[in-house]
Structure 1
Amino acid sequence: MAVDVFVLGGYSRGIGARKVLREFERGGVGWGEAEAVIGLEEAMLVGVQAGAGLTYVSDPALAWHDLLRPFVEAWRGVAVGGLARFFDNNFFYRVPVFTGKPDPKYYVLAKRAVFLSKIAPRGAGVKVFMPGPVTFAALSDTSVFGGMEEAAREIARILGEEARRALEAGASVVEVAEPLLGDIDARPEHAGLLVDLLSKYFPDPSKLIVSIYYHPPSKEVAKELAVLKAQYLALDYADRPETFREAVKIACPEGLAVGAVDARSIYLEPVERVEKALQTAKELCSPDRLALTTTAPLDLIPQQHAIAKTRHLGHLARRLEEGA
């Protein structure tokens, strides 16, 4: 069974990146020195992904404090607010507080795409990632707007340009992360809004991977995703296999990335369990394209375990191909 293979999102920091960022925040080193140390660690993680044979190498994004912060800091009309829990994880993010219409001072992802293209081995695909507009709006203080939908449209306008510039700068694909759609508070209209925003503001859907992680979407949300256009819709299998099956049967995307490798566990999955997950996906809706991925970004487990998971992901893909 030949499949594409990639991780979702970024990675956790190692000792070097953690130490230099603390020093930078205390004023002990300048950003140039900190960036150099972080860049070396990111190059190592890109090398791990390429060495594992992944279809796309994903941006480790070690300098990012959370999924939203780089964009908040890059935009006028939004400030960094207080701490809030990031879904059901023991991890917190700074709430974006919108004070007006967002306007980019600079773009975030094009620079990342250039950096990754320079350090990735020749022929390796490059994946950058961003928060999706619906999740971004839902996790923010958007009281300045008429409602969440208005905020999401303003956010999508800028994120669509981010995606466009990243692809022009060398990214092969852009991952649009929408964990809200797997959350207990997700509603069908959230998914419908995402489909509309992607079609209106984002570039070629064949260059997009839409990821819904931590939990798969409900049947009601999945129904709205049936018309989503993307290279892959990535869904979490490992956390709730039965909910995954229901969602896949309803959404039945043309490209399905199966999150069979648990990004919140340090233990390695047996080949048989992963093979069952992919076989289940094929039988449910016969997608044109099938991929193996993680259930979520590898930023919630220690870096040495994230590296082990990455290598295991590549090993699993090879075993599946050999057994085809």
Structure 2
Amino acid sequence: MSDVIATTPGLYPLPDWAKEDLADLKGHQKDDLISGDEGGEIAEAYARAREETVDRQREAGLDRVVEGQLRWDDMLAHPLCVHDDVETRGIVRYYDNNNFYREPVVRGELTPGGDVAAELEAASEATQAVLPGPYSLSDLATDEHYGDDASFLDAVAEFLAAEAAEFPPVETLFLLEPSLVTDAPDDGEDERASAAIDTVAAAVDADVVVHTYWGSIPEKPYAHLMDADVDAIGFDFVSDHEGSVYNIQEYGTKDDIALGVVDGQNTLVEAPEDIAERIEWVDSQLPNEAFGTIYASSNTELFYLPTNRAEAKLDALAAAPAEVSR
């Protein structure tokens, strides 16, 4: 059996105390928050919450620890929403669920700002970085500067690559690309999306996982994604196990693989032995020789869940590798 690594795609829910404290603080300092310029008390609250989130992952025993992305109120759109040359406008539904984000409208050059790198520096024990993938970030944003979709995608990829180049050393980078499923690229655009992912992946000295979710990628975009120079592709085996298995059987996959085998949106907590059984089932369906590494993860980000349920899922994920048949 492959080496099974317990991890997550990040974006954790805020601890309950932080939700209350930050809501109150932001209500009094809302004029300072337009570009992510939090005041001292807000920064202190996030720092305390970040430390708790990192400690909780270590307590659970996860093999990869993320910073938590607790400041990402706009979810995957966050790196643009705090940029000086991006205007945040109205509230937009985040994919097809009951979460919302401020629409980032790009009105100038996307120069790197170091926001995500600073978060990682503050979480010195983090071993895994998280970024939106370039295709998904460009899909969530509106361009009023670059002029066409291809130029905009390239600019977003270069922006993310420059941000990633400033990261402190980490073992793994998860690029989250749900738009490859929900708004799959058309002919020609699918090849550009793969090249954009290459641009970001080349900027880090870490194993890069392109994690997709909310279904399975259509065949042609998946085939182009296989051309990207990344270490693993992630599959949502909660939402669409049949489509995920089909892609892998038909087109193959990388030497490593990420499996979304814990439901990131359902409060029901899976037992470690059930998670292990799902990992073993996936492995049994695939014709490949054993993968070098299997990243066992929730299928989606965890911010949809109450804090106590998210933490219970961390415990279950961390315990699952020991239950996998060797």
TM-score normalised by structure 2 residue count: 0.87
| Structure 2 alignment gaps of length 5 or more | 31-37
- Per-residue CA deviation, residues 155-212 of structure 1 (Å, 9 max, x unaligned), is 111110111111xx23332221111012154446444223212333532474322111
Contact 1:137–1:155 (8 Å) recurs in 2: yes
Deviant stretches of 4+, over 6 Å: none
Contact 1:67–1:130 (8 Å) recurs in 2: no
The whole-number CA distance in structure 1 between the counterparts of 2:222 and 2:252 is 5
67-76 or 288-297, which moves further after superposition? 67-76
Contact 1:179–1:213 (8 Å) recurs in 2: yes
The SS at the match of 2:143 is coil
Q: Aligned partner of 1:275: which letter?
A: A
Contact 1:64–1:70 (8 Å) recurs in 2: yes
CA shift in 2, pair 1:71/1:12, >3 Å: same
- Residue in 1 that maps onto 2:27: 26
The whole-number CA distance in structure 2 between the counterparts of 1:5 and 1:213 is 17
Give the alignment of 1:154-233 within 5 angstroms.
154-166=155-167, 169-187=168-186, 189-201=188-200, 202-204=202-204, 206-233=206-233
The SS at the match of 1:234 is strand
- Residue in 2 that maps onto 1:111: 118
- Residue in 2 that maps onto 1:78: 86
Contact 1:258–1:277 (8 Å) recurs in 2: no
Q: Aligned partner of 2:42: which letter?
A: A
- Per-residue CA deviation, residues 249-294 of structure 1 (Å, 9 max, x unaligned), is 2241221011001101111224554334323443413333212111
- Per-residue CA deviation, residues 5-53 of structure 1 (Å, 9 max, x unaligned), is 1011210112221122212222269722222222222222212211222
Q: Aligned partner of 2:84: which letter?
A: R
Residue of structure 1 aligned with 2:99, choices 91, 98, 103: 91
CA shift in 2, pair 1:245/1:27, >3 Å: same
| Structure 1 alignment gaps of length 5 or more | none
Identity over aligned residues, as a percent?
20
- Residue in 2 that maps onto 1:274: 275
- Residue in 2 that maps onto 1:3: 4
The whole-number CA distance in structure 2 between the counterparts of 1:82 and 1:28 is 20
- Residue in 1 that maps onto 2:323: 319
TM-score normalised by structure 1 residue count: 0.88
Residue of structure 2 aligned with 1:305, choices 288, 303, 309: 309
- Per-residue CA deviation, residues 47-67 of structure 1 (Å, 9 max, x unaligned), is 221122212101212122123
Q: Aligned partner of 2:242: which letter?
A: E
Contact 1:45–1:307 (8 Å) recurs in 2: no
Structure 1 vs Structure 2 CA RMSD: 2.3
The whole-number CA distance in structure 2 between the counterparts of 1:307 and 1:46 is 11
Q: Aligned partner of 2:21: which letter?
A: V
CA shift in 2, pair 1:303/1:229, >3 Å: same
The SS at the match of 1:155 is helix
Q: Aligned partner of 1:23: which letter?
A: D
Contact 1:59–1:116 (8 Å) recurs in 2: yes
CA shift in 2, pair 1:296/1:205, >3 Å: farther
- Residue in 1 that maps onto 2:61: 53
The SS at the match of 2:75 is coil
Contact 1:206–1:231 (8 Å) recurs in 2: no
More strand by share: 1
